[in-house]
Amino acid sequence: REAWILAKYTIPGSFFSPSNCYVDPQVDLYTVFISNVLEYSFVIASVVSIGHLSTTALAASTLGSMTSAVTGYSILQGFASTLDTVLPSAYTSEQPHLVGEWTQRMSVILGFSLIPIAFCWANAESILLALRQDPEVARLAAIYLRWAILGLPAYAFNQISRRYFQAQGLFDVPTRIIFVVAPINVILQYLLIWGPDPVRLGFIGAPIASAISFNLMALLSLAYGIFWVPRTAWHPLSMRMFTNLGILVQLGLAGVGQTASDWWSWELVGRE
């Protein structure tokens, strides 16, 4: 029974034949599988669009993307992975509002984590030059990262909100949101990188388009959580969000070790 539940949440419903099995309409199309595929479209759209500019721009965007993954996204995702353990047990307890409380605490931790990450990205050129990268590629990659900071808080929020929804069995909510935003991101990448003159920004259009998409996902997640999700798991904002942070930090560091090592091995070794 549990295996069947997992299958429904991970395999697209189109793979099933209606004649021999039933798939919950709520998770038929909008599944975790499709969500992950659409997430990769963000990277593909950016690479394809920047590839129309020059090989130097493409190399810089690749270096910027790799640096952002190694120094930022992997760390945020690693910390947020702690909620995969904490939130489901809280939701099934006699106090489901603890889901909201732990979510707020993780928001505080990721909020503080954004400060050194943003500082690193803002000073990326000197770091990349110290690593003996090509000066022009390092300069453009640093520009890429500075603009990418605009989407960094939203990325962190999206990692938290996804787990907030999934802990309540609402696996389809993040997928519905990204299903809407992914096509918008493709259009933005085209318009801002090599679209018509009035809106074309060139190289910086890629990180700006991604930042807009991340922020749009965050706004949609927030709106969905406020207006359409039952308040069973919600906890009012209070100073309690600043308590018991050490537990999440301890668990989060373990999550960072697992997630980041996987990302780093691919980014630093695989791309080499």
∠ Cα 36 40 45 (to 5°): 145
DSSP-derived letter for residue 243 is S
Phi-psi region of 234 (alpha: psi -120 to 50; beta: other; left: phi over 0): beta
The pLDDT of residue 1: 81
The pLDDT of residue 269: 59
The pLDDT of residue 3: 81
- pLDDT tens sequence for the chain (272 residues): 878 776 666 555 444 433 334 444 444 444 566 776 777 777 777 777 887 788 899 899 888 988 898 899 989 999 999 999 899 999 999 999 999 999 999 999 999 999 999 999 999 999 999 988 899 999 999 999 999 999 999 999 999 999 999 899 887 888 889 889 999 999 999 899 888 888 889 899 999 999 999 999 999 999 999 998 888 899 898 899 999 899 899 988 888 888 777 767 765 554 55
From residue 218, alpha-carbon distances to 47, 76, 151, 156 in Å are 23, 15, 10, 9
Most distant CA pair in the chain: distance in Å? 61
Query: Could you give the angle at which helices 98-122 and 135-148 cross, rounded to 10 degrees?
Result: 150
DSSP-derived letter for residue 230 is -
The pLDDT of residue 27: 46
CA dist., res. 218 & res. 169, Å (int)? 19
The pLDDT of residue 54: 86
The pLDDT of residue 23: 41
The pLDDT of residue 241: 93
